[in-house]
Amino acid sequence: MSRTPAQQQMESAARAYFERVTKGDVEGILALFADDARIINPMTGETGITGKDALRAFYTNLVGSLVDYHAGPTDIIIDGDKLVAPLHLEGKTKDGNPIVMNNLNFWTFENGKFKVLRIYMDTHPYRQALNTALSGAKP
């Protein structure tokens, strides 16, 4: 089934997001979001974070904590103004600990921009990497 022009734009934005995350392009990532966009994930809590300044800090921290990593969608599903993209990420933390995880990114679009990004994730890889880093042990 072919996508409508609006759905093609949504898919292009989602793919651009993953490319920019992998490149560490924080300003490029932010360009995809509405000015009052919100991110909700296990690290931000249910209230999430809102606005470009908060998102800039979030993504600066995210891309600064990973090295030699790749994030990409395993599928893209669109329904109305909603897009769901299962994500696979592999890489290392700054201290060399490997990290492999699968998330589910759920976007709501408004006027062609990301309005809300809700990220569902298995936090076990983060907890494992954090515990290893705090204990000083090698993985």
Cβ burial, residue 111 (10 Å; 0-12/13-18/19+): exposed
Q: Which of 108, 102, 80 is nearest to 14 (CA)?
A: 108
Q: What is the CATH number of the domain that holds 78?
A: 3.10.450.50
Q: What is the pLDDT along the chain (139 residues), one digit of tens a residue?
A: 689 999 999 999 999 999 999 999 999 999 999 999 999 988 788 899 999 999 999 999 989 988 999 999 999 999 999 999 999 999 998 888 888 888 999 999 999 999 999 999 876 666 666 667 677 655 5
**pTM (predicted TM-score):** 0.84
Its domain, for residue 81, covers 5-135
Measured between alpha carbons, how far is 69 from 89 in angstroms, rounded to an integer? 7
Domain count, the chain: 1
